[in-house]
Amino acid sequence: MDAYTLAIIFAALTGLSVIVYALLDGYDLGVGILFPLGRDTESEQQRDTMIASIGPFWDANETWLVLAIGLLLIAFPAAHSLVMFHLYLPIVIMLIGLIMRGVAFDFRAKAAVDHKYTWDMCFKAGSLITSLSQGYMLGLFVLGFDESALALMFAVVSAIGVTTAYAYIGSGWLIMKTEHQLQQRAIKWAQIAGRLTAVGIVAVSVINPMVNPSVFDRWFQMPLAMFVLLIPALCIAAFIVNDRLLARLPKPDDRHCYWPFILAAIIFISSFVALGFSFMPDIVPGKMTIWQAASAPESLTFILYGAVIVVPVILAYTVFAYKVFHGKATDLKYY
């Protein structure tokens, strides 16, 4: 297999890992962001149920982040070095947030009762820190690590947009996995987060072509524009349908409770596909193409044998875990 094809294959695998990570870890980060702040018994019980809804999945979801970074390091080492050079500080901040989440997740069950609320807030803070740092990094990455004031403003908008998007898909997860008062609360969260996410996507979609003229030319070049503009059309339709659906939930027998999460997932996938279309074949926008950053063909061929085994295995146990723990979250119990 030649170097041209191998670079495309590994770019596709890296993109797949990023999309799946954003979907899966996105919703459990969103659940953490949505943690209610109250100290009352009802709020504590709701936080317990929210933890129970993500408990079997959240650790495994982060496997996709490890896979994406590993693929970037091994298959595109030049791009990995460039990304790490420019994003070292926000990456460290993101890791601090992930550590806070991991520690709080375990300690909330083991600490004294008086300290449980503190660890709950630590979990919420870790989720916010992780989401904001990921959004900030995405904004800097999209603009090719430009350090101008406009680029930094775009990164801040991106940070807020990604955080609200995680809250959006997280609330969709809670609608699907919970019942009664918490589900009704999640519906309200989804309505608010959905509208904020829509505003954020519109803002990014307007600002990005302004600072990247090549992106505007790619999207509006005829006759290709007639096809690629279906992507934002699908995204807009999903937002509208979901907003109207949320206004009618919950329904008898919990009908349609899965749809808010599914529609949010469609919005996520559409957004990432649009982002990929805007910059491919650049792996770092305006800096480096996938072929310039790729490892030697011999190395990529060797790695491909491992990827053919590892990626399907990860997909298989992910599907298996979600199949085993499907249905509504039950009361949280520690043994």
**CA nearest neighbour of 137 among 69, 225, 42:** 69
Give the residue carrying structure tokens 């990827």. 307
- What local confidence, expressed as pLDDT, does residue 186 receive? 95
* Structural domain contains residue 333: no
Mean pLDDT value across residues 270-283: 88
Helices 297-324 and 63-75 sit at what angle, rounded to 10 degrees?
A: 170
Which of 71-80, 218-227, 257-266, 323-332 comes out lowest in average pLDDT? 218-227
* Structural domain contains residue 94: yes
* Structural domain contains residue 145: yes
Q: Which residues pair with 282 in a beta bridge?
A: 289
**CA nearest neighbour of 333 among 30, 38, 45:** 45
pLDDT in tens, 59-113: 888 889 888 999 899 999 999 999 999 999 999 999 999 999 989 988 887 777 7
Distance CA 257, CA 164 (A): 20
* Structural domain contains residue 329: no
pLDDT at 333 over 80: no
Q: What is the DSSP string of 144-190?
A: TT--SHHHHHHHHHHHHHHHHHHHHHHHHHHHHH--HHHHHHHHHHH
pLDDT in tens, 210-244: 777 777 777 777 777 777 888 888 999 999 999 99
Confidence class for position 332, pLDDT limits 50, 70, 90:
low
Q: Which residues pair with 288 in a beta bridge?
A: 284
* Structural domain contains residue 47: yes
* Structural domain contains residue 332: no
Comparison of pLDDT for 112 and 139, the residue scoring more: 139
Distance CA 36, CA 189 (A): 11
**Contact predicate 134/142, CB 8 Å:** no
- What local confidence, expressed as pLDDT, does residue 242 receive? 95
pLDDT at 144 over 80: yes
Which residue intervals of 34-148 are DSSP H helices? 41-54, 58-61, 63-75, 77-110, 116-142
Preceding amide of 252 cis, omega within 30 = no
| Residues whose CB is less than 8 angstroms from the CB of residue 65 and which lie 6 or more positions away in sequence, other chains included | 17, 21, 25
- What local confidence, expressed as pLDDT, does residue 209 receive? 76
**Contact predicate 109/249, CB 8 Å:** no
pLDDT at 280 over 90: no
Distance CA 86, CA 141 (A): 9
HSE-up of 16 (CA within 13 Å, CB side)? 13
| Residues whose CB is less than 8 angstroms from the CB of residue 132 and which lie 6 or more positions away in sequence, other chains included | 159, 160, 162, 163
* Structural domain contains residue 168: yes
pLDDT at 334 over 70: no
Preceding amide of 250 cis, omega within 30 = yes
**Contact predicate 125/163, CB 8 Å:** no
HSE-up of 161 (CA within 13 Å, CB side)? 23
pTM: 0.93
| Residues whose CB is less than 8 angstroms from the CB of residue 163 and which lie 6 or more positions away in sequence, other chains included | 33, 128, 131, 132, 135
Domain that holds residue 196: 3-324
pLDDT in tens, 19-70: 999 999 999 999 999 999 888 888 889 998 999 999 888 888 888 988 899 9
| Overall domain count for the chain | 1
pLDDT at 315 over 70: yes
- Residue 290, H or E segment: helix 290-293
Rg (the chain; Cα; Å): 20
| Residue 116 φ/ψ, nearest 5 degrees | -60, -40
* Structural domain contains residue 331: no
The torsion angle over the Cα atoms of residues 274, 276, 279 and 282, rounded to 10 degrees, is 180
**Contact predicate 172/149, CB 8 Å:** no
- What local confidence, expressed as pLDDT, does residue 122 receive? 94
The structure tokens listed for 331 are 């009361």
Distance CA 44, CA 35 (A): 9
- What local confidence, expressed as pLDDT, does residue 208 receive? 76
pLDDT in tens, 154-195: 899 899 999 999 999 999 999 999 988 999 999 999 999 999
Distance CA 71, CA 16 (A): 11
